[in-house]
Amino acid sequence: MAIDWLAFTPASSLAGGALIGVAAVVYLRLAGRIAGISGVVGGLIERAADWPVRLAFVAGLVVAPTLWLAFGGVLPAASGQGWPSLLAAGLLVGFGTRLGSGCTSGHGVCGLARRSPRSLAATLAFMAAGFATVYVTRHLIA
């Protein structure tokens, strides 16, 4: 399989990673909570006491790419999968984040930054499952 060098964007990837890190620190300082998306959304669904802060966080996740597109930015290409596949994948990810007591943002970004052994184990499991899924779907099933 050929490498798509046009998709290699180190500057914007670095900027995006830095913004994620800054957002995680700001959320921790202002809300006193870890910026794990599954926990934020879970608390929003359960109407936690701090639901307005959680709603603002989730709204930012929707507003930011919308503004990016409005000012001429381009989002990565879609996976080429249909809605049923994407819906099934989203449900499986949601189930996995509940099963693993957190998601890649909570464990991978925030937990690893705090040197949490539990987050290291979770992140290694997430990555291994992702590598296996890509290998199976692109090389064994395709």
* pLDDT for position 3: 63
73 or 3: which leads in pLDDT: 73
Q: Is 111 helix (H, G, I), strand (E, B) or coil?
A: helix
pLDDT per position as a tens digit, 35-46 = 888 888 888 888
Is the pTM value of this prediction over 0.75?
A: no
Per-residue pLDDT, averaged over 49-53, amounts to 86
Other C-beta atoms within 10 Å of 137: how many? Answer: 12
Cα gap 42→40, rounded to integer Å: 6
21 or 1: which leads in pLDDT: 21
DSSP 75: P
Whether residue 141 contacts residue 59, with contact meaning beta carbons closer than 8 Å, is answered with no
1 pLDDT more than 60: no
CA–chain centroid gap for 64, Å, is 14
pLDDT per position as a tens digit, 68-125 = 888 887 766 656 667 787 788 878 887 888 777 878 788 888 888 889 999 899 889 8
* pLDDT for position 54: 87
Whether residue 35 contacts residue 106, with contact meaning beta carbons closer than 8 Å, is answered with yes
Cα gap 132→126, rounded to integer Å: 10
Residue 74 to residues 12, 48, 63, 67, Cα–Cα distance (Å): 12, 35, 15, 11
